[in-house]
Amino acid sequence: MSKTCLIVALDMPDLTAAATLLKKLNGLQLIYKVGSGLFTLAGPRAVDLVHKYGGKIFLDLKFHDIPNTVRNAVESAARLGVYSVSLHLSGGADMLEAAVSLKKRPLLWGITVLTSFDEKSFSRTGFKNKIERTVFNLAALGAENGADGVVCSPREAAAVKKRFGAALQIITPGIRLYDGGDDQKRTLTPAGAASAGADFIVVGRPVLNAADPAAAVRNILEAIQ
């Protein structure tokens, strides 16, 4: 099994809180996810802050639009110097191809089915297949059109890894140390996700809500290694 890397979700209310967390985690081998909450508030300053502490950035803005708009967004992200960006694979082949065509770009990680869905809620979205089949179909679309990786829950990671192998990186949110009963429906532990073949796990609340975030990160790193 290849090494699994840890991405910490920097889902903080403002830059001051983000800086406090970055100080506590400084020196640990991490990638940081900057999502829509912090980026909407602070914009590129959030990216600059993480770079100040030497961190790589997964810019998780889930681009989903017409091909030219997404291409422009990915090009802007490249100018910010981020490591990777997310986009919805349901945006289709033309959208993916437009983003892939950029000569200088971050890694493109395609969103399959959000981890907040279970089968009951997913059935109301209009997709005709169940979650696992939809994840598999969207992953195939990503692989065929140049995506570097796919974002799926750890529950689907093993099946995606078995089918696509090294052709697609597997990024799994929905990581919980135990069943916390929150808005994440399809979850696994860090060790479970790593065993399923995840190349990257995204962890937010188990670190952000910990009394000692650095200790929580070290425990997770030990579990996935």
* Model pTM above 0.85: yes
User: Range of 37's domain?
Assistant: 5-224
**pLDDT tens digits, residue range 41-60?**
999 999 999 999 999 999 99
> Which is more confidently placed, 146 or 132?
146
Question: Residue 187's pLDDT band (boundaries 50, 70, 90)?
Answer: low
**pLDDT over 90, % of the chain:** 72
Tell me: pLDDT of 196 over 90.
Answer: no
Question: Residue 186's pLDDT band (boundaries 50, 70, 90)?
Answer: low
**Of these residues, 23, 24, 62, 128, which one is catalytic?**
62
pLDDT value for 181:
53
Domain count, the chain: 1
Where residue 54 sits, what CATH number does that domain have?
3.20.20.70
User: Is 141 strand, coil or helix?
Assistant: helix
**pLDDT tens digits, residue range 80-127?**
999 999 999 999 999 999 999 999 999 999 999 888 888 888 888 888
Range of weakest confidence among 10-14, 158-162, 179-183: 179-183
- Is 24 an annotated catalytic residue? no
pLDDT value for 1:
42
Cα atoms found within 13 Å of the Cα of residue 178, Cβ hemisphere only? 0
> Which is more confidently placed, 91 or 29?
91
